[in-house]
Chains A and B, each alone.
Chain A
Amino acid sequence: MEQVKTRGTVRIDTERCKGCELCIPACKPGVLFMSEDRNTIGMHYPELLAGCTGCTACALVCPDFCFEIYRYNEPVFIEVQS
């Protein structure tokens, strides 16, 4: 088990995602990855791992307004399976 320092989080509207994947390389801490599942329009959508810094890059590059960005007042530590 590992504790990952996480400064923020996102809400993702997975149904609106068109699967362009631009958010994946844009994410500086590399905590976004495309799902295996598909949404109702048949697209893979981004899913989130621990370690988000709330840098807002994903929201800035997403053409479909799929992200809402939050920064925690205090960083939290999320337990993850290594």
Chain B
Amino acid sequence: MSRQLLEGSEAIAAAAVAAGCRFFCGYPMTPFTETLEFFGKKLPEVGGVCINAESELEAIGMAWGALATGVRAATGSTGQGLALMQESLSEITRSELPLVYFNMARGQGDYFQATRGGGHGDYRHIVLAPADVVEAVELTQLAFYLADLWRNPVMIYGDYLLAHTNETVEMKTIEYPTLPAKDWAVDGSLGGTGKSRNINPIGMSKLKHEIEPESFWRRLNKKTKEMEKAEARHEQEFVEDAEMVVVAFGTVARFVRHVVREMRAEGIKVGYIRPITLWPFPYEALSSAADTVKSVAVMEQNAGQMIDDVKLGVLGKAPVLSIGGISSDEAGFGIGPIHDAEDVRRRIECGLRGEEMEP
């Protein structure tokens, strides 16, 4: 156990390697590039492989192949690059491969992409949204465990601020319960036995001449429902007697948490709910808060995406106000004025007046 000052990109790569990740690949794109660079440095040190893919399509394909052999493998990009990977992300899910992938996003506008998915067909990914680098180290390791546990992709929603902030981190390998061996993984050994494997997304198996995707997809859906019930995570403070509760995720939520604590110390009855899993979204926490608060204010760095899930959780029991909005730097990389305690405070005060912010 050592305490180091690490930037988010490096901490995430180190955490993945600590969790046993031995394959990474990606295409350089701001603000994901450094994550790729750090994996490129760390993986060879442990006998792993990091490939600089020629495009995001190659990257997701290579990760797919590595996963099929049973190793812990990951890839990532920023929102635009993930947009290219969507077909494969969808099919990898139905192939039941335990992909971990990172969106080092340019802000919070990829919430829909992350939680609804841009690929075809029925599938969901568990999405974990760390608020800071320390939490990213923990959630990255959790991601590999959950991915293997459910044989389903897990995404880490990071962003520019997370990737490029230096924090003191204790790089501790988290122990998880032992998982069953991956006997579904291909290694060639069952060739010629009549029992060779076929990792595929439609339920095809050997000596079956008709594909019957329906029963296969139904089984996957059942698994998705179980994931939904079991894996929602959130953090909340000061909700029980709050007049208004602020909902925020990721790096924005870190500022919200700080400001809410400040305002509470001044006697203002405000609380916050921070979804840690964007999927499964912690609807119950919202529903329960909506029973007692006067209003729910949503602060996200986009034109309004998570607010849809908040409204689903609240189900009309309290008014839902938008106090977030589009907030960017000059280059559009996602560090906006919203990443600032004063700006966040202004927004919360706006919400307390019952007003919404212009997106």
Q: Is any CB of A less than 8 Å from a CB of B in the complex?
A: no
Binding site for A on B (CB under 8 A): none
Binding site for B on A (CB under 8 A): none
